[in-house]
Structure 1
């Protein structure tokens, strides 16, 4: 259906702009969404096309083996030590980030008012905006000596050190998204609980928190993605030892740190080169899965409360 310029001229410039907006909004947004999907598709194609040649010479069981020795004959490309290192650091970071992040979210959403609430939100935004290299430098120069002195450990850079700093880095993500989930709970829930004689704390823990639980889980999962995808701070703090460990007091190496350390010096097209892209593919799958689960849980929360 064409645009009637005569009728638009009678309605004036505002009517002309409104009709143009109604006519072109959907195609423009569809085009922008298509660009995002195409970019994601190209990234997936590039990563997997560079990773697949590795599996012409080694099996999946070898790729997930327990030894990473890419520069020593015979080459071994087992990423299990890197997966366990990433998992260990991520778990330690969540132990720090979840309780403090949820406490901050509850404080901002349910307790703080006025300028106190604004200050708390500003602090979270500041923490989220600090570059990861600054976090890494602080951890290496300030926190590492303190941990060595308190825990009497022989290593300066350990999984524990990386976990503590990553926990602080993931905290703003968890706190901000959990606060959004808590704020999305209808006010009528709180009012009904208070009207029945429940205290403010009982309302928070037995009404608001359970109602927002799926959104909070989504926030935690995105915090996990933030922790497992971090590179620079982990590179500076974890010790970068590609070994199977079960202790936070020893050096570890993560998936992201391995790519950052080795890609620049790896011959193009070599097995080592394709193995690093294999690590990238594993990271991409983990990250996409975490984001999909988090969005599904947040959508469930929105449907539950009709928002």
Structure 2
């Protein structure tokens, strides 16, 4: 009797997990279908070539312009700046925690780093406006510090927990025999780390970087508050920019329903969906490669 009841619960658990997996796929396909349906309605009115290559985004004027290129370049610029900051800090922190920090220090630092992911993005954006923005303005001599650099620094902070956690797991996963062999031929700890451990952990570290990029690309509130939201073509890190996520957040609440502008927002959301999908697929590829490496 007890065995039959246990088998019944096991069967029920399998069915529940299978159902939730199917529901996730159905929801994802529904979101993708909605995006593509509304994007198709937009492209019935605006040429896809003009949409991708246009250098002006001004849907509210009498001569409406729906060029996504400034938004696309702004998104890539802020993400690039964030990764320039976050990658060396994240990998360096992961290497320190894994190879140099004692267990006591690691147990203190790692939870603190991981808690950065729990800070609401609106709080980080507020700090960018109140503290970081005025400092950037003072250093550059500008009227305000709401620009691409401000957004990049804040996104770097938000991406760090992902990069540090996954990169540290990758470094920890390198077999101890590799390090012992390196020490055996006379290499010191730094040489072993840079020439043996990090190259061996490269797939996992690349996965950490790609997932960090995905985290930065999809962020909304922080860049909405900290980058100035100017739709002009960006000229550098010290100029105000407007990202794809910020554009959707600002304009979707006030745009008339089923207008060209309304459909245009779905079109740029589809572009953002495609960007994040590609980044996450690349990250998943390296994660799987790292798992196979660990299994071997």
2:228 corresponds in structure 1 to: 239
1:84 corresponds in structure 2 to: 73
TM-score, scaled relative to structure 2: 0.95
Q: Return the alpha-carbon distance in structure 2 between the equivalents of residues 38 and 281 of structure 1.
A: 18
Q: Secondary structure at the match of 1:265?
A: coil
1:292 corresponds in structure 2 to: 281
2:268 aligned with 1:279, yes or no?
A: yes
Aligned residues of 1:160 and 1:248 also touching (Cα < 8 A): yes
1:33 corresponds in structure 2 to: 21
Report the alpha carbon displacement of residue 17 of structure 1 after superposing the two structures with TM.
Answer: 5.4
1:250 corresponds in structure 2 to: 239
2:251 aligned with 1:269, yes or no?
A: no
2:133 corresponds in structure 1 to: 144
Of 16, 21, 32, the match for 1:44 = 32
2:163 aligned with 1:174, yes or no?
A: yes
1:106 corresponds in structure 2 to: 95
Give matches, 1:160-171, under 5 Å: 160-171=149-160
Report the alpha carbon displacement of residue 69 of structure 1 after superposing the two structures with TM.
Answer: 0.9
Q: Return the alpha-carbon distance in structure 2 between the equivalents of residues 283 and 295 of structure 1.
A: 18
Range with bigger deviation, 74-83 or 31-40:
31-40
Report the alpha carbon displacement of residue 189 of structure 1 after superposing the two structures with TM.
Answer: 1.7
Please provide the CA RMSD for this pair: 1.5
Aligned residues of 1:93 and 1:163 also touching (Cα < 8 A): yes
1:4 corresponds in structure 2 to: none
Aligned residues of 1:155 and 1:251 also touching (Cα < 8 A): no
Aligned residues of 1:92 and 1:160 also touching (Cα < 8 A): yes
Report the alpha carbon displacement of residue 35 of structure 1 after superposing the two structures with TM.
Answer: 1.4
2:44 corresponds in structure 1 to: 56
Aligned residues: 295
Q: Secondary structure at the match of 2:253?
A: helix
Q: Return the alpha-carbon distance in structure 2 between the equivalents of residues 142 and 305 of structure 1.
A: 43
TM-score, scaled relative to structure 1: 0.92
Q: Return the alpha-carbon distance in structure 1 between the equivalents of residues 283 and 256 of structure 2.
A: 38
2:52 aligned with 1:70, yes or no?
A: no
Aligned residues of 2:125 and 2:154 also touching (Cα < 8 A): yes
Q: Return the alpha-carbon distance in structure 2 between the equivalents of residues 284 and 304 of structure 1.
A: 30
Range with bigger deviation, 154-163 or 21-30:
21-30
Distance change in 2, residues 1:117/1:17 (3 Å): farther
Q: Return the alpha-carbon distance in structure 2 between the equivalents of residues 180 and 24 of structure 1.
A: 34
Aligned residues of 2:133 and 2:144 also touching (Cα < 8 A): no
Report the alpha carbon displacement of residue 93 of structure 1 after superposing the two structures with TM.
Answer: 0.6
Report the alpha carbon displacement of residue 246 of structure 1 after superposing the two structures with TM.
Answer: 2.5
Deviations 1:47-68 (CA, angstroms, capped at 9, x unpaired): 1112210000111111111110
Q: Return the alpha-carbon distance in structure 1 between the equivalents of residues 181 and 7 of structure 2.
A: 45
Larger of the two Rg values belongs to structure? 1
Deviations 1:154-176 (CA, angstroms, capped at 9, x unpaired): 33311111111111111111111
